[in-house]
Amino acid sequence: MDIRNLRTGLGMDVHAFAEGRKLILGGVDIQHHQGLLGHSDADVLAHAISDALLGAVRGGDIGKLFPDTDPAYKDADSLRLLAEVARYVREQGFEIIDVDSVVAAQEPKLSPYRDAMRENLAAAMGVPVENVGVKATTTEHLGFEGREEGISAWATCLVARI
């Protein structure tokens, strides 16, 4: 393979906490007293990975693909959106090689959910679970994540034109 056919992508996303919402991260329903607010299920991790993939193929962003003004995406399962993004990446002639990500949340503790998130995300993208990394960090009580006002997620990916 010609290394000039490799592309990297970067994605990030933020959602605010709200009472009465489920907390869905990487497609996993996480036990917590509040969840994230959004038009879809507000899966900030799936959104960051989706944007990383779209960035790598210069495909815009998920706001362009799945507008939050479109009722079709109300409470949408973001793993399904991620699967659609992965299909779009392949339609552009690329294969997904590797994905890594980090979620910044003061609470709750996410490490018990890490492998379930990796498995869900890998299945949605159609890649081996070994090729999907998920990490979690607090922000030492600093910033909006540290004040438990919301959660941010960052993701990078490597794709190859095949």
The structure tokens listed for 8 are 């990297």
Interacting stretch for Mg ion, rule CB under 5 A, among 23-31, 45-53, 100-108, 114-122? 45-53
Burial class (CB in 10 A: 0-12, 13-18, 19+), 15: buried
Minimum Å gap between C-beta 3 and Mg ion is 32
Q: Output 76 or 132, the one with its CB closest to Mg ion.
A: 76
What residue spans of 8-139 are helical by DSSP H?
44-56, 62-65, 78-91, 114-125
Minimum Å gap between C-beta 15 and Mg ion is 6
Where in 112-141 is the site for Mg ion (CB under 5 A)?
none
Interacting stretch for Mg ion, rule CB under 5 A, among 39-47, 80-88, 94-102, 127-135? 39-47
Among 7, 32, 47, 118, interactor with Mg ion by CB under 5 A: 47
- What is the Cβ-side half-sphere exposure of residue 117, based on CA atoms within 13 angstroms? 26
Q: Output 14 or 123, the one with its CB closest to Mg ion.
A: 14
Q: How many residues does the chain have?
A: 162
**Does residue 50 belong to the site contacting Mg ion (CB under 5 A)?**
no
Distance CA 41, CA 36 (A): 8
Site size toward Mg ion, by CB under 5 A: 2
Nearest to 82 by CA among 160, 161, 7, 157: 157
Among 11, 13, 26, 86, interactor with Mg ion by CB under 5 A: 13
Interacting stretch for Mg ion, rule CB under 5 A, among 11-19, 91-99, 106-114, 143-151? 11-19
Nearest to 20 by CA among 11, 12, 32, 28: 32
Q: Output 13 or 145, the one with its CB closest to Mg ion.
A: 13
Residue of minimal CB distance from Mg ion? 47
**Per-position DSSP letters for 31-42, written without gaps between them:** --S-EE--SS--
Would you tell me which residues interact with Mg ion (CB under 5 A)? 13, 47
